[in-house]
Chain A
Amino acid sequence: MGVYSKPVVFAILSAVVILIGTVVTVFIPMLMPSTQPVSDYVKPYTVVELEGRDIYIREGCNNCHTQTVRPLRTEVLRYGEYSKPEEFAYDRPFLWGSRRTGPDLNRVGGKYPDSWHYKHMKSPQSMFDKSNMPPYGWMAENRLDTRYSKKKISILGYGYTEEEVERQIAGYKARVTSPSYDSKEARNEVTPEELRNELTEMDAVIAYLQKLGRDVKNMEAEE
């Protein structure tokens, strides 16, 4: 009887059946600019923030942390302004997450000084003894690998020139290694002697965390 005795026809028919929902809910929205709007307020990541984001991905922080504040009263109270689609225009991949073992991080930028993060990343339990977040002190013992930064920026199309990439890296390094850096003490505490004048993975992750939600906060401040 019909398709039930024709495997190849059956396969083609199945493919058509599964593609209908796929086209309507995935492919068509992709062609609509309103799905992923852009805003002048939201800037691409700097090179160091991007490197930090890649470490966040490598360590699977997204397995415990979400990055979308939902438009619910208690959620806005807890984390801040709810997330807007514009904020994610430069996110490849997106990092919204599916599980909140730890708090949402989409508004964490500017919430704490860098020094707080150095201490917290080194040992969450030293700040909150009941936290189950893994300690990441070893990140401060790894020099930040920027060999691929230029290539990454060109793939992502952030539009920085090669000199700009180098300038950003040097600029951030100058900031965190400068004697006047406001979180110098905490940084020195977690960073081994020989890396204090270098950029570490921990520096980059913290740069990234401080970027999260910053553009939205700036926008609100201007309004």
Chain B
Amino acid sequence: MKENSYDYQIVRGFTFSALFWLIIGLIVGLWIAFQMFNPALNLTPWLSFGRLRVVHTNGLGLGFGLAGIFACSYYMLQKLSRTPLVFPRLAKAHLYLFNVIIALAALSLFAGMNTSKEYAELEWPLDIAVVVMWVIFAINVFATLVKRQEKQMYVSLWYIIAMTVTIAVLYIVNNLEVPVNLFKSYSVYAGVNDANVQWWYGHNIVGFIFTVPILAMFYYFLPVSTGLPLFSHRLSIISFWSLIFAYLWTGAHHLMLTPLPEWIQTVGIAFSIFLIAPSWGSVINGYYTLRGNWEQMRSNYLVKFFILGITFYGLQTIQGPTQGLRTLTSFFHYTDWVIGHVHMGTMGWVTMTISAAFYYMIPKITGTGLYSIRIANVHFWLILVGQLVWTVTMWIGGIQQGAMWKATDPDGSLTYNFLDSIASLYPYYKIRFAAGIVYFAGIILFAWNLVMTIRKSQEVKNQPLNR
């Protein structure tokens, strides 16, 4: 199949959409991080923390995360099946629809149209638009796979298929609601059942956005950018099936010690512990792929993104099951510890992997090489240091907060009132804000580097003689 019959326009479109929403989402993140130690930034109703936090999570999870996933999926899909997209015009519609949805999502969340169910906050008209968009994506995925020239589907394609199917199920089931008017609806589930459905969704939407498709990228881009074959095909088969099987049983670890029936909580803990195995299956597969070639950590600027990324994934998948245990959840649940967990995953694993994938794809598409590898290296160190300081600070803060909530005096009364516990965290919140700035600077360099790569390729095109 000829290189130039592939549809790269769509890959580019989603790549730059992802960068755009990443920057917006991070600005909002910095804003709310500031509000947490200084409420003066709650300037207007639509800039109040309760509304903005949702803009941050949706902007990054759906805006940045999904766009990155679509960009890489369209690329991997074509490459791995050696077939151009079957419906390029549909893909173009997908790109426009996606950006319209995210823009309307942000506006509606600013306006307080919000169902309150985490990561499913969008009101019903946007839910319908999301489902339509998903169907459009799925049509291209399956049509291209059915027409593919390559007999076997590579591991990454399994993860893309699993994501396509599972997100459809999750999204539809958790968003069933009865409209009151265009801007307001009520969940069809009540109380404990609503909580159970929501966290089955919540855990798995994180899993099937921030884990499954990111693994698809990891399994594809690590081998192609190092020229090394994947260590073990069999290990990837076992990891895949056990991961997607076990994931769906674990939502209850978000509802530990709540009124949810105890047996569901226990099942949730058991499967969370089990999840360490398939997660580390992928980590080990990644490490061993590099065996004997570790010098690439220095010589190939992309490798360190992947290896640090998968390392954070590995740490994340040990921390997650551990913090779900009854004794630890009673201490850490609801504290900043969990916020640290979230951001090691998103600022570490997810952004590192997507960064490297974009750095690989965009120069391939333009055919001119990356604008600056040095900038890419600076980007790497800034997001690494920013993320580490950010998350370690939150873990320490979380331990302190948990301890203060539990502290009692010898006579059995509580040592600290609630306000003491939150106010004592403000120094940590300030450090977090500073670390966020460092991370944000890295992201700006990332976006700049890719924009300049495109610019450079256009200049080269305009000067045919110099070629």
Binding site for B on A (CB under 8 A): 1, 4-5, 7-8, 10-11, 14-15, 17-22, 24-26, 29-30, 34-36, 54, 57-64, 66, 68, 70-72, 74-75, 77-78, 83-85, 87-103, 124-125, 128, 130-136, 138, 148, 151-152, 155-156
Contact = CB atoms under 8 A, between A and B. Distances in A.
Interface stretch (B109-117, B216-224, B297-305): B109-117
B191 A89 contact: yes
Interface in B251-289: 251-252, 254-255, 257-261, 264, 267-268, 271
A206 to B, nearest CB: 17
A149 to B, nearest CB: 10
Given A7-B145, A58-B114, A17 B189 contact: no
A153 to B, nearest CB: 10
Contacts of A21: 245-250, 271
B169 A15 contact: yes
6 contacts: A14-B161, A25-B249, A58-B113, A63-B53, A70-B333, A78-B414
Contacts of A94: 190-192, 194-195, 198
Contacts of A124: 39
Nearest to A7: B145
A74 B169 contact: no
B419 A99 contact: no
A74 B148 CA distance: 60
Interface string B113-154: 111111000000000000000000000001001101001110
B194 A93 contact: yes
A95 B418 contact: no
A217 B118 CA distance: 29
Given A11-B142, A70-B258, A93-B116, A64 B191 contact: no
Interface in B219-248: 241, 244-248
A89 B365 CA distance: 55
Contacts of B247: 18, 21
B213 to A, nearest CB: 14
Nearest to B42: A134
Contact of A66 (B39, B196, B334): B334
A155 B184 CA distance: 12
Given A7-B146, A25-B200, A18 B195 contact: no
B158 interface: yes
Interface string B150-193: 01110001100110111001000100001011001011111111
A37 B418 CA distance: 32
Interface residues of B, number: 92
B405 A155 contact: no
B54 to A, nearest CB: 6
Contacts of A14: 158, 161-162, 165-166, 244
Nearest to A100: B334
A22 B162 contact: no
B48 interface: yes
Contact of A26 (B180, B200, B413, B426): B200
Nearest to A10: B161
Contact of B259 (A18, A88, A90): A88
B202 to A, nearest CB: 8
Nearest to A91: B191
Contacts of B169: 15, 18-19, 22
Contact of A18 (B37, B115, B157, B166): B166
Nearest to A149: B180
A17 B190 contact: no
B264 A25 contact: yes
Given A14-B165, A91-B194, A152 B422 contact: no
Contacts of A29: 193, 196, 261, 264
Nearest to A12: B165
B184 to A, nearest CB: 7
Contacts of A4: 152-153, 158
Given A70-B333, A74-B405, 13 more contacts: A10-B153, A14-B244, A19-B248, A21-B245, A25-B200, A34-B261, A59-B48, A60-B51, A74-B407, A77-B414, A93-B116, A99-B339, A101-B422
A19 B244 CA distance: 10
Given A74-B414, A132-B39, A25 B251 contact: yes
Given A5-B153, A84-B259, A102-B422, A95 B35 contact: no
B24 interface: no
A162 B35 CA distance: 43
Nearest to A132: B39
B36 interface: yes
Contacts of B117: 93
A12 to B, nearest CB: 8
Contact of A92 (B38, B54, B190): B190
A1 B39 contact: no
Given A20-B248, A88-B259, A92-B189, A57 B116 contact: yes
B296 interface: no
A162 B215 CA distance: 54
A124 B42 CA distance: 12
A75 B408 CA distance: 11
A63 B247 CA distance: 25
B406 interface: yes
Contact of A133 (B39, B142, B157, B261): B39
A26 B246 CA distance: 14
Contacts of B192: 35-36, 85, 88, 94
A92 B186 contact: yes
A135 B44 CA distance: 10
A124 B186 CA distance: 30
A211 B133 CA distance: 41
A212 B245 CA distance: 39
B165 A132 contact: no
Contact of A132 (B36, B145, B259): B36
Contacts of A34: 261
